[in-house]
């Protein structure tokens, strides 16, 4: 007899009764992931630095029946991070899902980039991630219901690039940190993974999508799939990795590069 339950298959991507925190929620990827979680039944907590944009998102989400709240916070500020989790405790009783979508870069090579500039990238893209993950994991352990932590890393975590000395270091750190965190938290049924994207469409990257540009043509030489990433491509993997369908997966760095890593 085939040992797969119909009820599991029917609900393996459901996030009903879950509370999901999304950082960097005003960005193209963060906002799309947050809305997708809401569509799948989660209560969503949106956080980023821009309060006005957050409030606009809440209005948009609520108009579609998504239960959500927002709070402006700097993920690099520990007091701000604490306030985010205070809101979650007060409103929903604790997080089941953390998806980290915030990030920062200031491209420069080692000959031009000061130690302070390098530290700023490490703080924004690695230290702040640890800070948010630490409190989230403590809350999840205290609740005793397990959880999912998903960190947005980068294709650049394993393949260096000129001018990306700080960024590559921070994202490489995120990957190995997630693997270690997965070992720390497995006994508490908390899964920790990263998603490692190439360039995805956003307001900041739209200029790269011009099919007649040399930038676009050069990118496609490295992407066997033959195109750059669309938001839906990211959302599919990001929802899978926080859903019951991925309960056996932890400590992974998941390729969202269109084949770049394998090329």
Catalytic site positions? 167
How many angstroms separate the Cα of 91 from the Cα of each of 100, 260, 263? 20, 42, 46
Cβ-count burial 46-74 (b if 16+ within 10 Å, e if not) = bbbbeeebbeebbeebeeeebebbbbbbe
Please give the Cα distance from 161 to 169 (Å, whole number): 11
Cβ-count burial 176-192 (b if 16+ within 10 Å, e if not) = ebbbebbeebeeeebbb
Of 131, 134, 120, 96, the residue nearest 15 (C-alpha)? 96
Angle between helices 128-143 and 78-91 (to 10 degrees): 30
Residue 98 and residue 149 in contact, taking contact as beta carbons nearer than 8 Å: yes
Across the beta sheet with 43-48, the strand order is 68-72, 43-48, 19-23, 97-100, 147-152, 190-197, 253-256
Please give the Cα distance from 27 to 59 (Å, whole number): 16
Q: Cα 195 vs. chain centroid, distance in angstroms?
A: 7
Phi, psi angles (nearest 5°) of residue 130: -60, -45
């Amino acid at each position: 007899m085939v040992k797969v339950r119909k009820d599991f298959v029917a609900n393996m991507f459901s996030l009903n009764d879950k509370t999901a925190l999304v950082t960097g929620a005003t960005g193209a990827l963060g906002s799309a992931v947050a809305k997708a979680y809401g569509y799948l039944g989660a209560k969503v907590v949106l956080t980023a630095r821009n309060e006005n944009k957050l409030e606009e998102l809440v209005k948009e989400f609520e108009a579609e029946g998504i239960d959500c709240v927002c709070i402006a916070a700097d993920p690099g500020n520990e007091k701000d991070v604490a306030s985010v989790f205070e809101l979650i405790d007060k409103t929903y009783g604790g997080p089941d899902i953390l998806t980290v979508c915030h990030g920062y870069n200031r491209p420069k090579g080692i000959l031009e980039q000061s130690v302070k500039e390098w530290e700023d990238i490490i703080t924004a893209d690695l230290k702040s991630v640890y800070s948010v993950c630490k409190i989230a994991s403590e809350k999840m352990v205290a609740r005793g219901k397990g959880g999912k932590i998903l960190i947005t890393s980068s294709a650049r975590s394993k393949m260096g690039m000129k001018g990306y000395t700080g960024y590559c270091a921070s994202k490489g750190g995120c990957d190995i940190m997630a693997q270690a965190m997965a070992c720390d938290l497995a006994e508490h049924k908390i899964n920790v993974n990263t998603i490692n994207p190439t360039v995805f469409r956003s307001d900041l990257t739209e200029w790269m999508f011009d099919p007649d540009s040399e930038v676009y043509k050069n990118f496609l030489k490295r992407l066997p799939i033959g195109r750059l990433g669309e938001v839906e491509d990211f959302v599919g993997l990001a929802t899978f990795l926080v859903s019951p369908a991925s309960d056996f997966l932890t400590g992974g760095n998941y390729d969202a590069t269109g084949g770049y890593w394998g090329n």
